[in-house]
Amino acid sequence: MKIFLDTANLDEIREAAALGVVDGITTNPSLLAKETGDPEAILVEICETVDGPISGEVVATEADGMIKEGRHLASLHENVVVKIPCITEGLKATKILSGEGKRVNMTLVFSPTQALLAAKSGARYVSPFLGRLDDIAAPGMDLVADIIQIFDHYDFDCEVLAASLRHPLHVVEAARMGADIATMPKSVFDKLLKHPLTDIGLKRFLDDWEKVKAQLAAKAV
Ligand code: G3P
């Protein structure tokens, strides 16, 4: 499973990218609004930092505007993936942009039928927002499972990008289901590696090794 970070914060991105396991980045207008500076310049900087798919979202809501914005975003850097909301106008724009060879990440997907239409319109990625479904007491992971099951029957060139992940168990479940990608905030990413038994075990190894060194030093005297 590919791991993406869901952030527009360059410090977070640089820190995580240094581990060598970050495959891409997803941003959205809300995430870019948290940062200081020109959003386009930030997007380009992200593309220079992580060599993988970097989603930048359109804010137009009519197909023509989405297409214009999508073309512009795609022209900023070869890594840019155009993120388009899963609405009627978004489908029209996705058909055109994907026909031009631009990669589209269809976002704000909350049902299997939306995912199916996104894939049929040529989206390269489909982003079910599972945490936001959990928020309204609808099981978000079930949506991911449904989409994977549906896509398994066909030859869509469309990856399932599990989004709106809120904790490591979401990541585990997405991986168990075979989601192609999981995108997560840096706070969730940081928790993936941590285990108290690893820290305790390492401390014990090092303490024991100090004892060996002390014994050798005592013998040498
Ligand atoms: O990638 C989707 C993400 O930005 C939404 O996450 O936590 O706001 O539902 P959240």
User: pLDDT of 101-112, one tens digit each?
Assistant: 999 999 999 999
The residue whose CA has the least distance to atom 9 of ligand 1 is: 164
Residue 83 has pLDDT above 90, yes or no: yes
Q: Which two tokens stand for residue 57?
A: 């979202």
**What's the average model confidence in pLDDT over 16-23?**
98
Atom of ligand 1 nearest to the CA of 135: 9
Which residue do the tokens 């060139």 mark?
157
Q: Which two tokens stand for residue 86?
A: 């899963």
How far, in Å, from the CA of 163 to the mean position of ligand 1? Answer: 6
Indicate the pTM of the whole model: 0.95
The answer to whether 186 is a known catalytic residue is: no
Choose among 192, 183, 193: nearest CA to 31.
183
pLDDT at 221: 81
Residues 6+ apart with CB under 8 A from 33: none
Residue 16 has pLDDT above 90, yes or no: yes
pLDDT at 138: 97
Structural contact between residues 104 and 124, judged by C-beta atoms closer than 8 angstroms: yes
Residue 208 has pLDDT above 90, yes or no: yes
Instruction: Give SS3 for 31.
Output: helix
**What's the average model confidence in pLDDT over 155-178?**
98
Pocket residues: Cβ below 6 A from ligand 1: 6, 26, 28, 129, 131-132, 163-164, 183
- Cα gap 17→14, rounded to integer Å: 5
The residue whose CA has the least distance to atom 7 of ligand 1 is: 164
How far, in Å, from the CA of 29 to the mean position of ligand 1? Answer: 11
**What's the average model confidence in pLDDT over 89-108?**
98
How far, in Å, from the CA of 37 to the mean position of ligand 1? Answer: 21
**What's the average model confidence in pLDDT over 145-174?**
98
How far, in Å, from the CA of 199 to the mean position of ligand 1? Answer: 31
> Catalytic: which of 34, 68, 83, 120?
83
